[in-house]
Amino acid sequence: MGLSKAAAIVGAAESNEIGYPEVPKTSLDLHIEAIKNVSNQTGIPISAIEGIFSAGQSSEIAEHLGLHPKYIDTTSVGGCSFEIHVHHALLAIYAGVIDVALVTHGENGWSRRRIGAGGGGHYAGGGAGSPGTEMTMSYGFSGAPSNYSHAMVRHNHLYGTTPEDFAHVPVVTRDWATLNPRAVMSSKETHEFGGPITIDDVQNARMISWPLTMLHCCLVTDHGGAVLIAKPEIARSLKTNPVWIAGAGENMSHSNMLEMGDFTATSAFASSHTAYEMAGLGPEDMELALLYDSFSITPALTAEMVGLAPRGKGHLLWKEGHAAPGGRLPMNTNGGGLSFNHSGMYGMQLLVEAYRQLSGTAEDGLNGIKGKQTNARTCIVNGTGGSLSTTGTLVLVADD
C-alpha cells in the first residue's frame, strides 16, 4: 500500500460555543471542548489517542488530558499549520508509528481581548488559561534547576543515594571536555574555571537549588547546529559517511513537574523501548551513550530509564568510571551540557556529537573536531525536555 489513502479523517467537531462567547473562553477550554466532541462523535475514546498535533500547545493539551502520546507534533507555521498536521499524521500512521492522531485547535481570538491571549492574566506568558502555570507561579521557582533539585532529593530518599554520588557526573564529564578543544570548559585557556575538577569542587561550588550546586548544573552558552538526513541512495553517494537511524521513539509523561507521578522516572523508559524495538537492539548492544545532561541528575536518571543501569544505580556508571575516558561505556564524550556547551535546548549538540563519534568523517565540517574519542559502532542518544517531561530517543548505528 502506498502513502495515498494510508489514513482517513474519521471525525471533525468544534467547541460548544464559538464566535463571541458570553463568558470568555481560554484557548485550552476551546481545545478540550472540541476534543471531547469529536471523541463523542466518533466513539473513539480520548484514551486511544496516540499522537497529538497542534500549533504549539501539544504538551500542555496532552497533560491536560492525562495522555502519554508517542507522537508529539507542535508545528506552528501560521494558519496552514493544521493542513500540515494532517500531512504529518498521514506519514506517522502510514509508517505504523501510531494508529490514531488528534489534530486540535483552540484559539480565543475574541475572548483574549477581555482575558488575555493565554486566557486571562497579566503575568508572563500572557495570562491564565494555563491552570498548571497558574497553580505553580506563586512559589518562587526560578527555572529548571529549581525544579530538578526536587527529583534528586526524591532519588536520595528512595534509593539511599547522596548528592556526592551525583557529583561524579560533572567530574567525569569535565574529563571528557578536556579532550574537546571546542568545549567551553576544556582548559584554563578556554575558560577561567576550565580544566579538570574534583568532587570537592562540585560540592563546594555556589549553591543554586539545594542539593544542586552550580557545578551540578549545565552551562548557558550560544550554539548553532544543523543536521541533514537523506534517503539511502543519496546517503551512500556522498563524501561523508552515513550514520544510520536504526531506531527512534518519543514520549512524554507531563509538561508541568506538578504532574510528574514518580520523580525518579521519566518517559525515556517508553521512548527508548520504542527505539530499541525498531532497531532490533537493546541496551546491552550500546557502545556509546549520549544522554542529555542538563543537571547531574538528568543523565543518571536517564541511564536507569534506558536500561543502561538498574533503578537507583545510574550514578554508578560515572562513580565507578565506566562512563569516563577509557571506560566500558563512554558517555557524553563532547563534555556534555555540563562542560561542553548548553544553549538552553541541548538536543542538537547531542546529534552533532553522535555523528562525530560514529561517522569518522565529521572532521570535514566546520564543527568537526579531529580525534574521535571512541570506536563505537552503536550509540543511544536521549534528549530530555522541559522538567524531565518529554523525551526523544535515537539508536544510531555506524555504516558497515
The yes or no reply on residue 38 touching another protein (CB under 8 A) is: no
The yes or no reply on residue 23 touching another protein (CB under 8 A) is: yes
Cβ 273 to another protein shortest distance, Å = 23
Question: Cell 543511544 maps to which residue?
Answer: 380
The yes or no reply on residue 208 touching another protein (CB under 8 A) is: yes
Q: 319-378: which residues touch another protein (CB under 8 A)?
A: none
Question: Cell 524531565 maps to which residue?
Answer: 388
Cβ 18 to another protein shortest distance, Å = 15
DSSP state, residue 127: -
The yes or no reply on residue 128 touching another protein (CB under 8 A) is: yes
- How far is 13 from 334, CA to CA, in rounded Å? 49
Contact status, residue 335 vs residue 177, Cβ threshold 8 Å: yes
Cβ 105 to another protein shortest distance, Å = 15
Cβ 209 to another protein shortest distance, Å = 5
The yes or no reply on residue 115 touching another protein (CB under 8 A) is: yes
- How far is 250 from 103, CA to CA, in rounded Å? 18
The yes or no reply on residue 256 touching another protein (CB under 8 A) is: yes
Stretch that binds another protein, among 43-51, 95-103, 190-198, 333-341 (CB under 8 A): 43-51
Of the candidates 261, 255, 291, the residue with the CA atom closest to the CA atom of residue 275: 291
Contact status, residue 295 vs residue 145, Cβ threshold 8 Å: yes
- Which residues fall within 8 angstroms of residue 316, CB to CB, at 6 or more apart? 309, 322
Q: 288-307: which residues touch another protein (CB under 8 A)?
A: none
- Which residues fall within 8 angstroms of residue 153, CB to CB, at 6 or more apart? 211
Of the candidates 133, 119, 120, 106, the residue with the CA atom closest to the CA atom of residue 35: 106
Cβ 62 to another protein shortest distance, Å = 10
Q: What number of chain residues touch another protein (CB under 8 A)?
A: 59
Chain residues in the site for another protein (CB under 8 A): 23-26, 28-29, 32-33, 35-36, 39, 45-47, 63-66, 115-116, 119-123, 127-129, 131-132, 134-142, 145-146, 149-154, 157, 206-212, 256-258, 263
